[in-house]
Amino acid sequence: MSWKSLIATACLAVTTHGFAVEPAAKDESLIRAGIDAYVAAYNRHDARTIAAQWSETGEWVSPTGHRVQGRAAIEKEVAHMLADKHSGRLEVLEPRIRFISPDVAIEEGIARVMIAGQVPADSTYLAVHVRKDGAWKLDSIRETDRPEPPPINDNLQQLDWLVGRWRHKSSEATLENSVAWSKNRAFLIASFNVSGPGLDDFQGTLVIGWDPVAKSVRSWMFDSDGGFGEGTWTRDGNRWTVKFNQTLADGREGSATNIYTHLDANSFTWQSIDRKVAGQPLPNVGEVKVIREGAAAEQARLMQ
């Protein structure tokens, strides 16, 4: 059985008292809170809590068409799956909930499993919640592998390893970065946030794309201070060098050479050298290691 089995069961039964003719906003809030609770149960390998969210006759259908019928069978299946140390950690992305009737709700979304040393794997799911004896129960799950859309070009595909959530933390600052493909995989879009003691959060967006005229990877950056810039990327093995030029919010011009070194599926290093503002040199930023979010905890668990 695939480790992806049942990852789409991202919902927790919640008890409700009373139901208006139109579903109350609190009921959707309860289901969304339940999604977070289910993810926590999955990540601590709690099969009993997961199975308790199902109705007695609940049915799960895997991407391969394998069916598991009934709460007891589902608990056994989940326990077997989570016994594998490579079952990974679960995230549920952008779940959408709609009510068919006061007693039936549909949940749709994307389930992502992260395994140390591997690229995160996504699947789509459709879950049916039913209200029985005053409690919401999961009655059906249909899970489907999420097909990878063909890339617009193979050149940008070289940076697919950047997709995901990343984090670097030190006593001086914390860097958080989230990278995702745009529609049709035409661009990589990164949102970043830098925070630290006594610092105002510094945020921004980085868009990475392929320039068919220059025949090179290029990027465009926009930050929360009002600055903007662009860079040209070149590759040497697992090392990417970005020649970056920026216009600051006060009109001064800046430049730097930023270097990304891809270490493995869950880590890379970043450094910035040859930094200048208005022609005046600035200190280099030494090499820092950036870790895929959740990977450090997962690696420590596997070593136990």
Within a domain: residue 102?
Answer: yes
Residues 271 and 164 in one domain: yes
At 13-42, the pLDDT tens digits run 333 333 333 556 778 877 887 788 888 889
Residues 245 and 183 in one domain: yes
Within a domain: residue 237?
Answer: yes
Enclosing domain of residue 197: 156-298
* pLDDT in the model for residue 17: 35
Within a domain: residue 84?
Answer: yes
* pLDDT in the model for residue 149: 58
Of 92, 119, 145, the one marking the end of a domain is 145
Which amino acid appears at position 209 of this protein? G
Q: What is the DSSP letter of 21?
A: S
| SS3 state of residue 271 | strand
Within a domain: residue 254?
Answer: yes
Average pLDDT over residues 166-179: 90
Residues 205 and 239 in one domain: yes
Angle of CA points 60, 65, 66, to nearest 5°: 60
Q: What is the DSSP letter of 158?
A: G
* pLDDT in the model for residue 13: 34
Nearest Cα to Cα of residue 38 among 52, 28, 25, 27: 52
For residues 265 and 287, give the distance between their C-alpha atoms in angstroms, rounded to a whole number.
Answer: 18
* pLDDT in the model for residue 232: 96
Within a domain: residue 82?
Answer: yes
The pair of three-digit structure tokens given for residue 13, joined into one six-digit string? 């039964």
Residues 44 and 140 in one domain: yes
Of 114, 145, 176, the one marking the end of a domain is 145
At 238-271, the pLDDT tens digits run 999 999 999 999 999 999 999 999 999 899 999 9
59 pLDDT band, cuts 50/70/90, is very high
For residues 127 and 106, give the distance between their C-alpha atoms in angstroms, rounded to a whole number.
Answer: 6
pLDDT score of 117 more than 90: no
Of 123, 145, 167, the one marking the end of a domain is 145
Residues 293 and 252 in one domain: yes
The pair of three-digit structure tokens given for residue 58, joined into one six-digit string? 């609940």
Residues 116 and 215 in one domain: no
Within a domain: residue 205?
Answer: yes
Average pLDDT over residues 174-198: 89
| Higher-pLDDT residue of 174, 198 | 174
Residues 138 and 211 in one domain: no
Residues 187 and 290 in one domain: yes
CATH number for position 198: 2.40.128.20
Looking at the 3D structure of the chain, how many domains does it have? Answer: 2
Which amino acid appears at position 142 of this protein? R
pTM: 0.53
Q: How many C-beta atoms surround the C-beta of residue 87 within 10 A?
A: 20
Is the separation of the CB atoms in 169 and 293 below 8 Å? no
Torsion, CA 118, CA 124, CA 130, CA 134, rounded to 10: 40
Average pLDDT over residues 68-94: 88
Rounded mean pLDDT of the chain?
Answer: 83
Average pLDDT over residues 270-274: 94
Strand partners, 273: 257
Within a domain: residue 35?
Answer: yes
258: Cβ contacts below 8 Å, ≥ 6 apart: 231, 241, 242, 244, 270, 271, 272
Residues 289 and 167 in one domain: yes
Within a domain: residue 19?
Answer: no
For residues 110 and 10, give the distance between their C-alpha atoms in angstroms, rounded to a whole number.
Answer: 10
Average pLDDT over residues 194-199: 84
pLDDT score of 50 more than 80: yes
Residues 99 and 179 in one domain: no
Strand partners, 247: 228, 253
Nearest Cα to Cα of residue 182 among 217, 200, 206: 206
Residues 100 and 185 in one domain: no
- Which element (helix H / strand E) includes 32? helix 25-43
CATH number for position 76: 3.10.450.50
